[in-house]
Amino acid sequence: MAKMWDARFSKAENSRVNDFNSSISFDSRMFREDIDGSVAHATMLGKCGIISASEAEKIVEALLIIKNDIETGVLPIDPEAEDIHMFVEEVLTNRIGDTGKRLHTARSRNDQVALDIRLYLRREIKEVEDLILKLISAISSIAKENIDSVMPGYTHLQRAQPVTFAHYVLAYAQMFIRDYNRLTQVLERTSVSPLGSGALASTTYPIDRHMVAELLGLNGVTENSMDGVSDRDFLIEFTFALSLIMMHLSRFSEEIILWCTSEFSFVELDDAFSTGSSIMPQKKNPDIAELVRGKTGRVYGDLTTVLTMMKGIPLAYNKDMQEDKEAVFDAIDNSKLCIELFTSMIATMTVKKDRLRKAASGGFINATDCADYLVKKGLPFRDAYRVSGRLVAYCIEHSTDLESLTIDEYKTFSPLFDDDVYTAVNLDNCVNTRLVYGGPSRRSVEHQIKLIDNYVELKGAEND
């Protein structure tokens, strides 16, 4: 195919150079955004008198038909085209002749691609936001079912203090709320138009950049033409936001993998979200959770790709920047898949409340409460801590626990113990007396759930 720039060149491009240079295989997914950007640009050129109103109309009309033809498969994307921008322009010119050649007035592919990727990422950010809201809702539903499901909370993966399954999973809801808020901030910085930056030094035509931004529903325009064409911060930020989402999903996956072991046996995944083994008939493997954990590394890799790709680039556009797309697309595709599957996986898993309670009963996770009991009776905390420690050692030696000791046994450790100690070390009471804001008590957890549900409702409505 003849190149757009063959007037300046005396030789055709080496065929391998053509392939090496080409980005159509991956940037064709931005065809809608490319056309929307061109429609806005042509409309503005017409309104500003840079091309005639009838030319603008003709271009816009043809572009909309091209968009529809690509969508419906009538117009297959030519894999020989260099990129989606060249492809659309070529089709346009083939279809409407010389008028099509006027579209690229006052524009460069550099500001065009910068606009396209912003428009494309805006759509994807909103889709990821929707998936995150569904995930938060699924967590909230699990929490509602498990407000009284007492279980051990861990530090160092050692049983530490009693919490509930509701409180446990709501910790993850908070992470995903932060992720959602982060996406919203990235969306804001993504939603400005670089069009009019030209190749790097803007243009001499009397264009109206703000009109283009407004036509595209963007919040404003970039402030410096050289920054406008060479800024990919928004793309890196989005990849980072996805990396954090994946990190949160990966931690949650790790817990689920542990909880599915016979050793923990806190949850059971639905058969539809588990896999078997080709040799061991008894196996039921949490592959989905493992793949989510595994793909997290891949998304971090995409982040490293875009950060590293940008670090040595002088102003303004350089072809290195074409490498941004495959990385961010890979991060988007994999993160979306992971969020969706993970949500369905946890929504269908069974929580084994009896196993949670059994684990809560065995690990002296009420030893702090026992010490606090003595503090309430007047003992300084450090002394109470020692008494409780000696009691635990005694229990271990006699294979018993704090709930089962007789009052006489208690009294040999401190005269301050009385019958009410059983209320103090009762696991449900241990949880429900932690009334502090943000704690695991029923009252606090119900409040957490209410805030989360309100959040999901508000953000869902904003996104509609």
Binding residues for ligand ARG, rule: CB under 6 A, are: 23, 27, 83, 109-110, 113, 317, 319, 321-322
Distance of alpha carbon 265 from alpha carbon 262, whole angstroms: 5
Nearest to 86 by CA among 138, 129, 27: 27
* Rounded Cα gap, residues 10 and 389, in angstroms: 87
Nearer Cβ to ligand ARG (113/260): 113
The residue (of 321 and 370) whose beta carbon lies closer to ligand ARG is: 321
Kindly tell me which of 83 and 124 has the beta carbon lying closer to ligand ARG: 83
Per the DSSP assignment, residues forming a β-bridge with 382 are none
User: d(Cα 302, Cα 346) in Å, to the nearest integer?
Assistant: 26
Contacting residues for 382 by C-beta, under 8 A, at least 6 apart: none
Taking CA atoms, 142 is separated from 145, 161, 165, in Å, by: 5, 21, 9
Place of tokens 């809801």: 173
Name which of 119, 114, 116 is nearest 316 in CA terms: 114
Rounded CA separation 323/341 (Å): 28
To the nearest whole angstrom, how small is the minimum distance from the Cβ of residue 318 to ligand ARG? 9
Structure-token match 């009420």, residue found: 366
Strands 192-193 and 158-164: unpaired
Q: Shortest gap between Cβ of 23 and ligand ARG (angstroms)?
A: 4
> Of the two residues 89 and 369, which places its CB atom closer to ligand ARG in the complex?
89
Strands 220-221 and 267-268: unpaired
Q: Which residue lies nearer to ligand ARG by CB, 23 or 243? A: 23
Angle at 344 between CA 340 and CA 347, to 5 degrees: 135
Question: Shortest distance, CB of residue 30 to ligand ARG, whole angstroms?
Answer: 9
> Shortest approach of ligand ARG to residue 114 CB, angstroms?
9
Q: In the bound complex, what is the minimum distance in angstroms from residue 109's beta carbon to ligand ARG?
A: 4
Of 55 and 89, nearer to ligand ARG (C-beta) is 89
- Supply the Cα-derived Rg of the chain in whole angstroms: 30
What is the nearest approach in angstroms of ligand ARG to the Cβ of residue 223? 21
Name the 3-class secondary structure at 221. strand
| 3-state SS, residue 444 | helix
Q: Going along 286-368, which residue ranges are E strands?
A: 350-351
Between helix 109-145 and helix 31-47 the angle, nearest 10°, is 130
Sign for the CA dihedral angle at 326, 329, 335, 336 comes to: negative
Task: Name which of 230 and 426 has its Cβ closer to ligand ARG.
Answer: 230
Nearest distance from C-beta of residue 307 to ligand ARG, angstroms: 17
Q: Which residues are catalytic?
A: 156, 277
Task: Find the shortest distance in angstroms from Cβ 199 to ligand ARG.
Answer: 7
Tell the residue number behind the tokens 């080709």, with chain if given. 278
Length of the chain: 464
Question: Which of 172, 317 has the CB closer to ligand ARG?
Answer: 317
The sign of the dihedral angle between the CA atoms of 258, 261, 267, 271 is: positive
Q: Which residues contact 370 (CB under 8 A, 6 or more apart)?
A: 388, 391, 402, 421, 424, 425
Closest alpha carbon to 292 in 232, 230, 335: 335
